[in-house]
Each structure stands twice: as structure tokens, then as C-alpha cells.
Amino acid sequence: MLYGRDAETAALADRLTAAREGRGSALVVRGEAGIGKSSLVAAAAESAADLTVLRCTGVESEHAWSFAGLQALLLPLSGHLEAIPEHHACVLARVLGIAAVPEKDAPPGDLRFTVGLAALSLLTEASGHRPVLCVVEDAHWLDPDSADVLLFIAKRLAAESALMLFTVREGYAPEFPAPGLDELRLGPLDDEAAAALLAERLGTHGYTDRGQLLHAAEGNPLALLELPLVESEARLAADWTGRRSTTSRLKQVFGDRIDRLPEATRTLLLVISADDSADTGLVIEVAGKLGAQLTDLAPAEADELVHFHGDRFSFGHPLIRSAAYQGAPLFRRIEAHRVYADVMGPGDYRRVFHLAAAATGPDENVAAALEASAECGSSCGGHGYEYTVFERAAAFTPDPHVRGRRLLRAAEAAVAAGNGSKARVFASQIGRFTDDRAILARATLMAAMVAAWDNDIREAYRLYMEAADHYVAADITSTGYPLFRAVELAWQAGDFSRAEVAAEYAERLGIDHAPWVRDLAKATAGLNRSCTVTVAEAVDSLRHLIEIHTGFGESVTPENRAMVAWWQTLIGDIDAAEQTASGTVSAARTSGAAGALPRALTLNALTEFYRGRWKDAEALAWNGVELSIELGQRIGPVKARAHVLAPIAALRGDEERVRELVEAAYAGSPGDTVVAIDNALALLDFSVGRNEEALDRLMARLESNAPGEVLALVPVAVEAAVRAGEPERIADAFDWFTQWAEASGQPHLKAQVERCRGLLAAEPEAGAHYERAAELHKMDDAFPFETARTDLILGEWLRRARRVNEAKSRLRTAAGVFERLGAEPWSERVRRELRAAGDAGPIEAAPDLANKLTAQELQVVRLAAAGLSNREIGEQLFLSPRTAGYHLYKAYPKLGVASRNDLARLGL
């Protein structure tokens, strides 16, 4: 019976009912040791006789072994492997150890997504036959690779007949962050429930002061069950009141109970706790060599400390394992591990960990064995295991140079696992052990990459320059990449003198890639109003770099494709940027290069924003935010919010939403995106009519050391300046924008130049500029918002010129666009102008089917309209096929169609 947990039990029952109905979910149950987490989920499992119940438990001794938890959880489903796609079955066969897979067939890309999608596919297949309950106990001790995959699955169960429950100990245990998942925190029992539980435990026991027990237990159920077993009430009063945490008190209780056992029994408990092996014969063999045998377990079984069931030993509570192991003298623990290593076969992956546990100092034999184990583990795809074991190998390495090399391997594996903070720690330690410049170059390069992920732009620049110094000594032909990246980061930081330093360094070295570094430095200078480089020269330099990179074809990495898309936006070629960015997104998803996806998604979102597909832009941007969070990339959510989501909300006049997004961006360590945040706030001011404030914000940036970030908003500054009665403030910036538009050759930019000329011209001459702008927009009609702005301004001028019918036509065209985009301040401005023209009729916007769909539905529908199957859609969006179908069928009635065959006709 669970005392005092009626609400929690009901909540889990509701989730089980939902899972039976195909509405899956996940829940993290948190609380201190003994608070009842396991009892709660056990009760849920007991009530789920009609479900397939899968279980795994995180174990401290397996914390370093890749996919140990995933194997325990999913092996019972191995019978379904033949029913899932072959490449998914191949990945899982490798990861779960069911079959050896050649190295050439190793899972590609980021394993959280590659293995996660395969595991989700297996779980989906199984739940299609019978609903599934996954119970993951002590999730804080899961190996990192299993934790990543299980969290990946847990966030994608909405359309599955599955429920996943995690239990996590708080305090005296590793953290288990689970952003995006529902959580249930178990607190102490209330007084009534605690008293009832204690009464059941004590029965007729002669405790004279039960209140003292209740006070000492502090509502912790395990404490209520165990404290009565301490030696005396006097000890309880002296030892247990208000001095230590409940966890430490319980460990002492268990330790005291173990201390009362015979020595042979304590030895057997130590052997069991030292390995958590399912191999009962191995445990008995090791115990025998230490003077204990199976019959010695009886006293511990009688005291309910340990049980034997399911062909393995298990402790009554994880704290009993800790007490049994940590309570043993150090020499006995070392002896137990040494015997384990002696009796285990050389092919047993656990042997090396026992060797390490038995070592008392640096030992090259142990270090080499750990290194070999790490390399073997990496062939199964477990980067979390790999960096953990390489770190341990380095710690046991006596030779400083070899230790530095192993730390480098640990850092590289940590980067591959997406653990940037670990990689930076490892990289920072390497210089203490080796002066090998090749090793230092690679380590510094990784540290720079991670700093860029964290939006620590200036530190990333410094590290790339340092990496270049190391490569000069180790391999000068490799110096171009860090110098090129240094220029890019100097640009992002607005420190253009540093970009020039990197370019001059490349030229002094005479490396083959020096012209590339110089081209990027010229673009940096020219697009930031340098007196030494013109805008035209900057645009030409970027065009040259784009031609070089696109000439490499399919060999260009997703990371570099994203860089090309960014360059294309800088020369105003949004059409090419959209094709490059969307192609990068598709390529990154197909290849599993998840690390490049957030940047590609944000760039793709930016191009959709420019092209007036705001709903698509929001869907892509939010996808980028979610993936960045899963990958641990701090810069992704900041950029998506600052560059895409906040500007859209600003143009819609949603002040509250803009403030939320700006605050979230600042909280995410905005770094170089402060300018983009200011730009969004300026757009908000401009949209709602605060022209002076908008102008002041934009001019502050245009006059700063990084004006290039505001270049595309100069037309906004021009209109704000005219409306504020201060057109003279914008003259220089407008001349700069005009040079950029001419150099780009893009009609949509030239149209904005003509519109601005009209605003700055005398009233009689203005109309010709506006009409010229409207003609230029017809040459490139992929920018509906900018076209509508021109139609609005032209309509206003036509009304003032008493050409009312022409004015109405222009204004109604603009109104339809603003209404479709939800740009309410702009719609209201058109309505006012129409009323002034004598037209008070309703505005009819062209139907926008995208606005009827959620962000996820829109992405699924677009892929379905392109002919992809549910399985292919799932692999593109990291969803299960059933979830893809779920979103698709929810979209059909919104779109007025009955099947996917109708989607292609909708023009989506």
C-alpha cells in the first residue's frame, strides 16, 4: 500500500490510460533517496498487466559502459527488429550487441539522433502490437549514451501507445537534466500518512516515543521503515536529529545492519556490490577466492538486505549497495576488484574497469587496457563511453606525452558526443602534459569550436589564432582553416582589426589558402563601412568565396554549406541562400550531421522570413531551438530567437511576445547577437509608430563598430527618419545601402532604394520613385512584405495626389499581404488610409493554408506534398512514422483535403 500518494498514483493511472489510447508521454519522477519513487512506478507497472513492461536501472558501476541502459531496456523487443527498416535494425543490432557490424557500416552522424531514431522505430513497432510501459530507474546513473537516446525517445512519444517513466534521485547523485519533459517531484509524506506507515511497520513494537521516530524520518517512507531497526531509542535521539541529510542517515542505518553480519556475509555483499554482475557463477567464484560462499548470503537475505531472483542478485535499495561497498575497508575493495580482473576472461569489457579500480597509482598496463576498451567501445558508436574511458586512461598514464595524447582522444570523443564543456576541460589540460604542437593544435581547434558553440565569440577567435600558431610549427598546410574561422569570428564580434590581423598572418605564411582568408577579411571590412574596402569589393570577394565552395559540389560539409548560405544572404541573393540553406537542412538530416542542423535551420528560417513565409520561418526556427537544446548548443536558440522569431513578432506588433523572446535570448548568453536583438526592438518600435525610438536604436548601431548587422534595415531607418522629421540623420547610411544594392544587382534591394529615394524626395518627385520601386518588385516577386510596404507608401502618395482609385487598388493589395502575415500594425495603417480614401469595406486576405497549421504540421505536410512517405518524413524530422502520420491526419481537415494525394494540388 502506498500511503499519502493518491494524487500521484492517479496521475500515473491517467498517463497509462492515455498510452493505451495512443497518446504517449514521459514523466520524470524526482525526489530524495527513500522518498518512494520506485514504489510509485512499481505500483504503476503492477497496474499495467495489459502492457508490455520494459525495465532498466542505471547502475553506478555501468555508468561508463556505452548503451548499457539501452541494452537492458530494449533487448526484450529484439523480436521486432525484422519489422523495422533495415538500416534501423542494423544500427540497433550493433548498439545492443545482438550482432557484430563492420566498422564501415557504423552509424553515421550524431548518435543521439541516429541511434535514437532507430530505437524509436523499434519502440513504435512494438507499441503497435501492444502498448508499452518503459520504467527507467535511477536514471541519474545511466551511461551518457543511453541517457541521450532515452531522452530523445521520451520527447517523441505523443502519438505512440507508450509511457516512459524515469526515477531520479536528488542529492548525493549525478544530475539528470531533462528539459522539455514533464516532472513530478515527490515530497515528504504528510503527518497522517507518515503516522499510518510507521504504525504498520512497528505493529506492537514497544517504542515509547513514536513522535521521535516521525520527527527523525521527516516524512521519508524508507526512513520510516528503517529507523525502527537501529539499536535503541537513545541512539536515535542522540544521533539522528537535525544533523545530516536523510540519505546519509539511511546509509548509516544500512551500514550498521551490514556491520552486524558475519564477516563472510559482508565479503559476499562486497563482491556483489563491486560488479553488479548478472553472472551469478562469476560472483560465487570471486567470493570463493575471498573466503565466502553462497550459503553465507543467508543472514543478509533474512535481514532483507539482498535478494536473489531472476538469476541475479539484487539489493533491497541502491543505498544498501553503496553502504556494502563503501563500508568495506579500502584494501578489501582493491582485493575484490583484483580477483574479479583475475577470473574474468580477456574479452570481458568489465575486466578493464576492475583493473582500474584495483590500481593504486599510475599504471601503463591499466591505461593501455582502458585505451583499447575505449577504441572497442567507439566501434559500437558510444562516444559518451569513449570520452569517459579515455579520460580514465589518461589519469592512469605515467608518461606525460602519452597522457596528453589520450586526453586529446577524450576531447575529440566529447565533441562527437556533443559534450562541449567536457571537451573544453580536456583540451585545457593537455598543455600541462605535452609540448607536441600537432596535439596542441588539434586540442586548441576543438576548444575554439566549442567556444563558438557557446557563443563565446572573442574567446573562440583567440583560440583559433592560437591553433594557427601550433599548426605553423606542426603542419603549416593546415593553418588556413583556423585563420579563416578567426576572420569569421572577428566579423561576428565586430572587431574588424582582428580580421585584418588574421588575413595578414595568412599572407605572411604564404599558405595556399591565404587568398581565401583575405577575401573574407575584405568582405568583413567592406560590409562594415571600412574606408579601405568598398561595398562592391566586399560583395565581389564573397561571390568569389561562394564560387569556390559551390565548386566543391557534394563534398562540401553541411557546416560549410551553411556558411555559404550566410554569405549569400550578405550579398542579397536570398533565392540562392534559400536553396542552399534548405539543401543543407536536408543533407544534414540525411547524413545525421545534427551538429550543423541548428545553424542551417536558422538560416533557412531567415530566408523564409525574407520571402514572406513567416509561418514556415517560425516552424524552422523553433525546430532549430529545440534541436540546439537537445545538442547542448547555446548559440542556436539565441540566434533563432534574435534573428527570426523576435523580428516576426515585432512586425506583427506583438510587444509581449517580443519581450519574451528578447529576454530568452539575453538569458542564453547573447554574445554577438545583441545587435540582432536591438534590431528586433527597433522593428517593434517602427511597426507600432514609435519612429524616433526606432531611429535612435538603428542609428546607434549604424554608428557603432559593427554597422553591417544593420545594413538590411537601413530602409526602415530611412522611413523612420522621414516620419520623425530628421531625414538628414540617415543620408550617409542610405548612400552606403545604395552602394550595396547596386553591387548585389538584386531587384528587391534596388526597389527598396527607389522607395527610400521617394521618401527623401520632394512630394512632386516622390511618385516616380515609388512607381519605379513597384516595377522593380515585379521583377522579383518573392518578397511580399517589402512589396506590400512599397504598395502602401505608393498608395498613400496616390491618395494625396487625389488619384483615389489607383490608391485604393494599391492599398487593398498591400492590405491582403499584411492580413495574411498577421502584421496587424501594418494592416491598421492601411485601413486608416483606405478610410481616408473613402473605402471602409472589409479587407479580404488571400487564403494562407500555412497559417491553419501548427509548426510541426506544416513541416510534415510540406514533406508529404513533396512525395515523402511517413517513414521518410519521420527520418527527416527525427519523428516516428506514426507521429508523422498523426500530424498529417490532423492537418487534412484544416486544409480541406482527404488524402496526401490532394496535397500537391494545394501549392504548398
- Contacts (Cβ under 8 Å, ≥6 apart) of 468: 479, 482, 483, 486, 502, 505
Tell me: pLDDT of 846 over 80.
no
Q: Considering only 321-330, 724-733, 843-852, which range has the smallest mean pLDDT?
A: 843-852
**Euclidean distance between CA atoms 843 and 828, whole angstroms:** 11
Q: Considering only 735-739, 786-790, 807-811, 869-873, which range has the smallest mean pLDDT?
A: 869-873
Percentage of the chain with pLDDT > 90? 56
Nearest by Cα to 79 from 116, 125, 115: 125
pLDDT digits (tens, 9 = 90+) for 631-655: 878 888 989 999 999 999 999 999 9
**Euclidean distance between CA atoms 30 and 171, whole angstroms:** 10
**Euclidean distance between CA atoms 670 and 663, whole angstroms:** 10
What does the pLDDT average to over 302-315?
83
pLDDT at 231: 45
Computed over every residue of the chain, the mean pLDDT equals 88
CB 443 within 8 A of CB 411: yes
CB 55 within 8 A of CB 138: no
Which ranges of 262-419 would DSSP assign to H, the alpha helix? Answer: 263-275, 280-289, 298-302, 318-326, 330-343, 351-358, 364-378, 383-395, 400-416
**Euclidean distance between CA atoms 760 and 722, whole angstroms:** 7
Q: Considering only 237-246, 279-288, 552-561, 650-659, which range has the smallest mean pLDDT?
A: 237-246
Tell me how far apart the 2 most distant CA atoms of the chain are, in Å.
Answer: 107
Residue 129: C-alpha distances to residues 18, 50, 434 (Å): 16, 11, 57
CB 22 within 8 A of CB 161: yes
| Residue 235 banded pLDDT, cuts 50, 70, 90 | low
Tell me: pLDDT of 220 over 80.
yes
Tell me: pLDDT of 312 over 90.
no
439 Cα distance to chain centroid: 29
Tell me: pLDDT of 735 over 70.
yes
Count of positions (residues) in the chain: 908
pLDDT at 209: 67
| Residue 670 banded pLDDT, cuts 50, 70, 90 | low
**Euclidean distance between CA atoms 282 and 284, whole angstroms:** 5
What does the pLDDT average to over 695-702?
93
- Other beta carbons within 10 Å of 7: 8
Which ranges of 417-479 would DSSP assign to H, the alpha helix? Answer: 420-430, 437-453, 457-474
pLDDT at 353: 85
Tell me: pLDDT of 137 over 80.
yes
- 587 versus 654: the higher-pLDDT residue is 654
Q: What is the amino acid identity at position 77?
A: L
Percentage of the chain with pLDDT > 70? 93
pLDDT at 206: 57
| Residue 721 banded pLDDT, cuts 50, 70, 90 | very high
Burial of 718 (0-12, 13-18, 19+ CB in 10 A): buried
**Euclidean distance between CA atoms 779 and 531, whole angstroms:** 33
Place of cell 516616380: 768
Burial of 392 (0-12, 13-18, 19+ CB in 10 A): buried
What does the pLDDT average to over 519-533?
89
Tell me: pLDDT of 865 over 80.
yes
Q: What is the amino acid identity at position 425?
A: V
Q: Rg of the chain's alpha carbons, rounded to an integer?
A: 32
Place of cell 497559417: 851
pLDDT at 100: 55
| Residue 378 banded pLDDT, cuts 50, 70, 90 | low
